[in-house]
Amino acid sequence: MAEKTYLQAISDGLRGEMRRDKRVFVIGEDVGVYGGAFKVTQGFQEEFGPWRVIDAPLAETAIVGGCTGAAIMGMRPVAEMQFADFVSCAWDHLVTVAAKQRYRAGTPVPIVVRCPSGGGFSGGPFHSQNPESSFAHIPGLKVVCPATPEDAKGLLVSAIEDPNPVLYFEHKHLYRRIKADVPDERYTTPFGEARVHREGDDITLVTWGAMVYTASEAANQVAEEDGTSVEILDLRTIIPWDRKAVLESVEKTSKVIVLHEDTHTGGFGGEIAATIAEESFEHLDAPVKRITAPDAPVPFAPTLEKAFIPQVDDVVAGIKELAAY
């Protein structure tokens, strides 16, 4: 066990799988000589050579489509999108071929697409997005959003093991900011099991990715100011998502907030809220509350971006409003 950044945990998880299983290879833009735009694959090409750490042309369709072909031939490809935003260029391939090949043709497609996502550092409209809900809507794809270094490693190992296409959203704002103990040995973190980030009795707050930390700060603040006890559930994976854990927590607290950095309409929070309404209506003491980014592109200027991404103050206000309901 050693303290590692979120980024080191991803890097270690990937390196470990590449050492263990020669079917695993990495392909993406600038992943080889440069070590990746965020240095997740730094030193990989020296260790594994240019045919397992492949610098690709600027061509996301060919990168991800190529991974599908290689996977069908028995490899375990891990593609890196330089930014999650660029996965839009591979969207057609993912939803048209990769997602449907098992269902219609019986051919499993075990690929992982790593997508550095999220904002908070003036990346602007094309280096800040959280497109997880778009993929959550496509049957056949799995969607993973780790928040902690330990989960980042364990979920990546699970994603590589999984026989399906997995979108792995790693939040850029957590890369070097978040440090925690990470087991040295190999382990997997199961898909579809939420993690209780903080136990509480009054309000359930369901979230994932970088918003786990925003929620945590807000929960500390309301605990101090009002004595409100917030339970934070970190979903960890969006597809599959842990309905059971969410519904059990709702049964306990009777009030629930869903928080995400993605935009509002069609965001995955809507699915969670609808499920709670369908399954747990009689346990609710207040309407389900969503705190999300507004329906706008991610803006560049720090003032605008701060107004766009849910902040601790926004979550505190939401908790107080719901507590008073």
Q: How is 73-135 classified by DSSP, letter by letter?
A: TT-EEEEE-SSGGGGGGGHHIIIIIITTHHHHH------EEEEEE--SS---TTSS--THHHH
Neighbours of 323 (CB within 10 A): 17
For residue 240, whether the previous peptide bond is cis, meaning omega lies within 30 degrees of 0, is: yes
Chain positions contacting another protein, by CB under 8 A = 25, 27, 51-52, 54, 56-57, 59, 61-62, 64-75, 77, 92-93, 96-97, 100-110, 139-140, 142, 163-164
Compute how many other C-beta atoms are within 10 angstroms of the C-beta atom of residue 124. 15
Q: Are 69 and 98 in contact (CB under 8 A)?
A: no
> Shortest approach of another protein to residue 58 CB, angstroms?
9
303 Cβ contact list (under 8 Å, min separation 6): none
Catalytic residue among 127, 173, 197, 260: 127
By beta-carbon proximity to another protein, the closer residue of 57 and 227 is 57
Which of 316, 300, 309, 296 has the alpha carbon at shortest distance from 118? 309
Which residue number, 1 or 104, has a Cβ lying nearer to another protein?
104
Nearer to another protein, 103 or 126 (CB): 103
Residue 251 · residue 199 · CB < 8 Å: no
Distance CA 310, CA 288 (A): 17
Distance in Å from the first CA to the final CA of the chain: 44
Q: Shortest distance, CB of residue 185 to another protein, whole angstroms?
A: 21
Q: How far apart are CA 165 and CA 148, in angstroms?
A: 22
Least distance in angstroms from the C-beta of 108 to another protein: 4
- 127 as an active site residue: the answer is yes
- Looking at beta carbons only, is 71 or 273 nearer to another protein? 71
**Of residues 74 and 227, the one with the C-beta less far from another protein:** 74
**Whole-number minimum distance, CB 170 to another protein, in Å?**
22
Query: 55 pairs with which residues across the strands?
Result: 28
Measured in degrees and rounded to the nearest 5, phi and psi for residue 130 equal -125, 80
The total of other beta-carbon atoms located within 10 Å of residue 6's CB is 28
CB of 129 to another protein, least distance (A): 21
Please, which residue, 54 or 273, has the CB nearer to another protein? 54
Half-sphere exposure of 115 (CA within 13 A, CB side): 35
Least distance between another protein and beta carbon 247 (Å): 21
Where in the sequence numbering do the catalytic residues fall? Answer: 127
